[in-house]
């Protein structure tokens, strides 16, 4: 077996370093990304979009709130309690960096923008 | 607070269901994606590309091999032992489905191909 010069693999160490562990869970990625281009979203809309239970969604949203990726506001529409979730400015920046890092990992390297 | 009709959030439940938990770890995504468009890659090339240690890479590759995403072949170049890793046909299909699901989650929905 002769040793041809192996085709180099793009350097992915930097991409790995920019992955956001807080967005590693796909449901959390879905929650934050859904909030990206909207002012806010109602809890039940997110729940129905993702097809998860109230308790699962609550758990994810609390975790995302704790690390500053989303903000939660509670209020009423008429007499009915409502919960709205919105992405924070920090959340937007970190989401973009995470998606870019995923793109690099999935597409074979930072140089191939 | 009047109840405007909230802008619908694309359905992401299907995307979530197509996420491959075996590719949830970003290093594993990087390993399999790096193998995608190449015949095979040598262990140390993958290690240097990802910037991980031998033991970390070995652990990930064994896990990926166990679930059928990659194949491992050991041999010699001259007197020096070598290990090559390649993506399996199944690995290619599952990688594509995973990346597509990530794209949908990150981009807001299956309909926005």
DSSP B9-35: PPP-HHHHHT--GGG-SHHHHHHHHHH
- The Cβ of residue B13 has, within 10 Å, a number of other Cβ atoms equal to 14
Q: For chain A, what are the domain ranges?
A: 20-102
pLDDT of B17 over the 80 cut? yes
Q: What's the pLDDT at A112?
A: 43
Q: Which residues of A touch B14 (CB under 8 A)?
A: 51
Record: contact A105-B29, CB cut-off 8 A: yes
Summary mean pLDDT of chain B:
90
CA distance linking residue A112 with residue B5, whole number of Å: 41
Which of residues 35 through 74 in chain A touch B, CB cutoff 8 A?
36-38, 41-42, 45-46, 48-52
Summary mean pLDDT of chain A:
90
Question: Residue B106: exposed, middle, or buried by beta-carbon count in 10 A (0-12, 13-18, 19+)?
Answer: buried
CA distance linking residue B104 with residue B109, whole number of Å: 5
Record: contact B10-A34, CB cut-off 8 A: yes
CA distance linking residue A25 with residue A40, whole number of Å: 21
CA distance linking residue A27 with residue A60, whole number of Å: 8
Phi, psi of B73 (to 5 degrees): -130, 135
Residue A66: which of A34, A90, A40 has the closest Cα? A90
- Mean pLDDT computed over A80-96: 96
CA distance linking residue A75 with residue A88, whole number of Å: 19
Q: Which residues of A touch B37 (CB under 8 A)?
A: 108
Fold for A20-102, please state it. Answer: Arc Repressor Mutant, subunit A (1.10.10)
First to last CA, chain A: 35
Fold for B19-104, please state it. Answer: Arc Repressor Mutant, subunit A (1.10.10)
Record: contact B9-A45, CB cut-off 8 A: yes
Bridge partners for A83 per DSSP? A74
The pLDDT tens digits of the residues spanning A100-109 come to 999 999 985 5
Q: How far is A110 from chain B (nearest CA, A)?
A: 11
The pLDDT tens digits of the residues spanning A33-44 come to 999 989 999 999
CA distance linking residue B79 with residue A15, whole number of Å: 35
The pLDDT tens digits of the residues spanning A58-79 come to 999 999 999 999 999 999 999 9
With CA atoms as reference, the chain A residue closest to B38 would be A7
Q: What's the pLDDT at B3?
A: 53
Bridge partners for B72 per DSSP? B85
- Mean pLDDT computed over B33-54: 94
């Amino acid at each position: 077996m002769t040793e041809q010069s192996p085709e180099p693999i793009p350097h992915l160490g930097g991409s790995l370093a920019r992955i956001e562990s807080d967005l590693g869970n796909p449901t959390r990625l879905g929650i934050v990304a859904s909030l990206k281009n909207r002012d806010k979203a109602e809890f039940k809309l997110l729940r129905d979009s993702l097809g998860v239970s109230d308790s699962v969604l609550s758990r994810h949203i609390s975790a995302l709130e704790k690390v500053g990726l989303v903000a939660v506001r509670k209020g009423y529409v008429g007499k009915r309690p409502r919960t709205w979730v919105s992405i924070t400015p920090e959340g937007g920046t970190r989401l973009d960096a995470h998606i870019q890092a995923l793109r690099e990992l999935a597409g074979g390297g930072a140089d191939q923008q």
